[in-house]
Amino acid sequence: MVAVSSPAPVVVRRRLVDDWVRSLHQAREVLAENPDRMPVKLGPVRPIVYESWRRSRLQGLDPERLRPAYYEDIETDSYLTRVVTPLVEKRRAVLDQSSCALSVTDHEGRLLRRWAPDASFASRLDSLDVVPRFSFAEGHVGTTSVISLLKGAPVLVRGPEHFPQMFHSLSCAGAPIVHPVTRRTIGSLDLTCRLSDTSPVMLAWVMEMVAEIQDALRESASRRERLLLDAYLTHNRDARHPLVTLDHNTIITNAAAARLLGAVDQALLWEHASRAMSEHRSGPAALTLANGRSVTIETRPVSNGPDTVGAVLQIKEAPARPASKSRGPASAPAARLPGLVGRSPHWMALCEQATRLPTRERILIVGEAGSGRRAVAAALAAPSPVRIVDAADVWSRGIDQWLQDVESEVGGPDETLVLAHINLLEPRVAQATDRALGRRAGGGRVLATSEAGPVTAAPSNSLLGTFSHVLHVPALRDRMDDLPLLITTLAERVAGQGPVLRWMPDAIQVLSRLEWSGNVASLEALVRQLHSRCRSGYVGAAELPADVVALASRRPLARLEQAEAHAIMQALRAAKGNKHRAAESLGIARSTLYRKVRALGLDLSTTAY
């Protein structure tokens, strides 16, 4: 007798899968209605997946229109790929027998190399842009296994758990690659297959492979560190002159350099060295450190065969300018505002203008929210006592009380009155405030802060036009050269008498890619958050919040790319969204237009034509 197996178990499994898929789609609908609220019961949706869906929605991503972003200039033959490749070749037989694809990304989720022996599956991945130089960071495509970079842990993402619909027929397992010496995440390894081929063994296989990669990195790192140390010992002939040997993870300094450099100068030095070596520059070059001191640096590469693994920097402090021999007055020192830091051109221009202002005239300080308008007002008033009256409190305290506060001089004639947020005043209250200022007996100094200037706010707020001088405080995105110095200053302020967190170069580089719509106030909030949370004594990219890293993964466009993106959007608006007509007006094929839209990261789903 031949036993025939019952089809019942197969039917039950299929029904369970259908229920799982249906529940996932219901959860996505709940998320689409209100991405700000996390449901109490997620059902079959794992929290790690739902949190990534939520971040993707809050970033404005549309699961039906997502495509990976293209990075033309990325170096695919990187140090990481050269370590990974021979290890993959050892397991080539396993890959050849499967219908899977293995890929390695950098720390930002950009694909560096892919191995896909199955020609049919490789062709399918090609059509989805799962090829080198495309980014699969959460900020570009939403939830995939590459979120392991954000979470710092392995993850398996199956079918409809992917945020983009184009990946719903696939499953992928990913794990972060952590450098064994620096303990920083430098990339990820990801295994992709068809949803029907999903196996729980996938994640274990990837984790085993990552462990081998990290062992190889440990051996390679030992050699790199020896090369850096040898280069340092070779060039450190005179301990009186500052000398630095470094790569993006390690810095070796002599005592003279240690006295000169601050905690965040490593990022500045490594970026300077990288540019100098890539441009094959020789001879000394000028650089301004985070503390504002000017130095000249001569850069020499440290090589390991054909690879450049680091640099030796010989540093000299710029000599002080000799006193002028002419009869004219000596040049004045750079203008500064007490208690505030910065050395970027926009900030220095503000300081220069501020130091020339008269002390008894009304001054309006204009800038975006969080840019530091009130701090600038306090610096201008120093050392006089300051009294702040906030227009945001007018309706809670009453108009009469507001006008009385404006007119009175509680602190005497030397008091500086600061009217905050006067752009919020209604026209009639603004006029009454101007009259109240005219009744101030002592004539003390009056400063005001506003998000809008006299030109943009007039005629709705006539008070703004009564100020004799206007100071414009630059937004943080316009003074990114100040970011390392601001972080150092804020970290010291937050620490008080306690230990100060050391901010690592990779963290500062991540933060430099953000738009900072909340300006310095947002930066200070982040510094405070990490000060209370970080126990290791330093902040690297791995310690930054996942939402910060996700936002930073969006690629900023170069100036030429910005012009190209502007031309494409103008053509689409003129064609009322018709891509065929827009491509014709630009003189390119429609397929080229689609490719450029994807490469530039343009989101056409949110554009009204």
Average pLDDT for residues 134-152, to the nearest whole number? 92
Q: How many CB atoms lie within 10 A of CB 277?
A: 16
Cα 212 from Cα 392, distance rounded (Å):
59
CB 384 within 8 A of CB 445: yes
Average pLDDT for residues 472-486, to the nearest whole number? 89
For the chain, the distance separating the N- and C-terminal CA atoms, rounded to the nearest angstrom, is 72
Predicted confidence (pLDDT) at residue 318 exceeds the cutoff of 80:
no
Average pLDDT for residues 273-302, to the nearest whole number? 80
Q: How many CB atoms lie within 10 A of CB 377?
A: 24
Cα 207 from Cα 189, distance rounded (Å):
9
Residue 480 burial (10 A CB sphere; 0-12, 13-18, 19+): middle
Position 360 scores a pLDDT of 76
Average pLDDT for residues 252-264, to the nearest whole number? 80
Position 6 scores a pLDDT of 45
Q: pLDDT by residue (tens digit) across 353-375?
A: 998 888 778 899 999 999 999 99
Radius of gyration of the chain (CA): 29
- Which whole-number Å values give the CA distances from 395 to 424, 426, 434, 529, in the listed order? 11, 11, 18, 32
Angle at 596 between CA 171 and CA 56, to 5 degrees: 40
Q: Which range among 69-83, 172-186, 268-282, 558-572 shows the weakest confidence by mean pLDDT?
A: 558-572
Sign for the CA dihedral angle at 164, 558, 596, 579 comes to: positive
How many alpha carbons lie under 13 Å from residue 188 in its C-beta half-sphere? Answer: 30
Average pLDDT for residues 453-473, to the nearest whole number? 80
Predicted confidence (pLDDT) at residue 10 exceeds the cutoff of 80:
no
Position 375 scores a pLDDT of 94
**In which band, very low, low, confident or very high, does the pLDDT at 560 lie, cut at 50, 70 and 90?**
low
Structure-model confidence comparison of residues 6 and 250, the more confident one: 250
**Beta-carbon contacts of residue 199 (< 8 Å; ≥ 6 apart):** 193
What is the 3-state secondary structure of 467-486? CCEEEECCCHHHCHHHHHHH
Average pLDDT, the chain: 82
Cα 387 from Cα 448, distance rounded (Å):
11
In percent, the amount of the chain with pLDDT more than 70 equals 84
Predicted confidence (pLDDT) at residue 322 exceeds the cutoff of 90:
no
CB 153 within 8 A of CB 43: no
Cα 604 from Cα 62, distance rounded (Å):
10
**In which band, very low, low, confident or very high, does the pLDDT at 557 lie, cut at 50, 70 and 90?**
low
Structure-model confidence comparison of residues 343 and 301, the more confident one: 301
Alpha-carbon dihedral 572, 575, 581, 582, rounded to 10 degrees: -20
Position 113 scores a pLDDT of 96
460: tokens are 């709705």
Q: How many CB atoms lie within 10 A of CB 77?
A: 10
CB 192 within 8 A of CB 136: no
193: tokens are 């297959």
Domains of the chain, first to last: 27-219 (3.30.450.40), 236-317 (3.30.450.20), 345-473 (3.40.50.300), 477-552 (1.10.8.60), 559-606 (1.10.10.60)
Q: Can you tell me which residue has the tokens 């490719």?
A: 595
Position 129 scores a pLDDT of 94
Cα 551 from Cα 370, distance rounded (Å):
19
Predicted confidence (pLDDT) at residue 9 exceeds the cutoff of 70:
no
Predicted confidence (pLDDT) at residue 514 exceeds the cutoff of 90:
no
Predicted confidence (pLDDT) at residue 327 exceeds the cutoff of 50:
no
Cα 137 from Cα 103, distance rounded (Å):
14
The values of phi and psi at residue 302, to 5°, are -110, 120
Average pLDDT for residues 28-33, to the nearest whole number? 68
**Alpha helices in 356-446, H assignment, sequence order:** 373-381, 394-397, 399-407, 427-438
Q: pLDDT by residue (tens digit) across 380-424?
A: 988 888 899 999 999 888 999 999 988 887 767 778 899 999 988
Cα 134 from Cα 157, distance rounded (Å):
19
Cα 600 from Cα 578, distance rounded (Å):
19
The values of phi and psi at residue 338, to 5°, are -60, 130
Q: Can you tell me which residue has the tokens 């000028």?
A: 286
Q: Can you tell me which residue has the tokens 């689609």?
A: 594
Q: pLDDT by residue (tens digit) across 200-219?
A: 889 999 999 999 999 998 88
CB 490 within 8 A of CB 529: no
Q: pLDDT by residue (tens digit) across 86-103?
A: 999 998 888 888 889 999
pTM of the model: 0.54
